[in-house]
């Protein structure tokens, strides 16, 4: 039986190139269908389908901006905005390992953005070497599998 996994469930909603590029565009402030389509290069029918899926799953919401003819913009919900960290880390990974020219971002402190995963409790870096999975029903501190 496959492992129960939040990653797999998230990928059911987000795990497709066009969906992630839509999230990128919304995070960058593009909200209208035509500008999202132009900036992603997504075919119109596929983009419509991905936006519909993201709306159905509460990641994106449609917001009317014109009545005649009716027109909507797309905005991230709280759930969609929560993807900022994941998208930022994915972008940084691509900048480092895919050979594309890096996209420059600065933090409000004025320095170039360089993100790190930090434990909210002890404020130490989080890596695959210092994290372990707790099995359901296992007492804290027991070995993970």
The answer to whether 77 touches 60, Cβ cutoff 8 Å, is yes
Cα–Cα distance measured from residue 26 to residue 108, given in angstroms and rounded to the nearest whole number: 20
Q: Which residues of the chain have pLDDT under 70?
A: 138-145
Write down the architecture of domain 6-82 according to CATH. Answer: Orthogonal Bundle (1.10)
User: Rounded to two decimals, what is the model's pTM?
Assistant: 0.85
pLDDT at 133: 84
pLDDT digits (tens, 9 = 90+) for 100-133: 788 888 999 999 888 899 999 999 999 999 998 8
The answer to whether 80 touches 28, Cβ cutoff 8 Å, is no
User: Where in the chain are the domains?
Assistant: 6-82, 88-145
User: Residue 119: how many CA atoms within 13 Å on its side-chain side?
Assistant: 10
Please state the φ and ψ torsions of residue 58, each to the nearest 5 degrees.
75, 20
Closest among 82, 97, 20 to 51, alpha carbons compared: 20
């Amino acid at each position: 039986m496959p492992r129960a996994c939040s990653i797999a469930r998230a990928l059911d909603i987000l795990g497709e190139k066009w969906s992630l590029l839509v999230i990128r565009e919304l995070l960058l402030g593009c909200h209208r269908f035509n500008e999202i389509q132009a900036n992603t290069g997504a075919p119109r029918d596929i983009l419509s389908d991905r936006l519909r899926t993201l709306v159905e799953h509460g990641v994106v919401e449609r917001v009317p901006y014109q009545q005649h003819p009716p027109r909507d913009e797309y905005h991230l919900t709280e759930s969609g905005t929560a993807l900022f960290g994941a998208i930022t880390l994915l972008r940084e990974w691509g900048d480092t390992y895919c050979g594309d020219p890096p996209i420059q971002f600065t933090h409000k402190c004025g320095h170039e953005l360089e993100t790190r995963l930090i434990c909210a409790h002890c404020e130490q870096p989080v890596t695959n070497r210092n994290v372990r999975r707790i099995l359901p029903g296992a007492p804290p501190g027991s070995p993970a599998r």
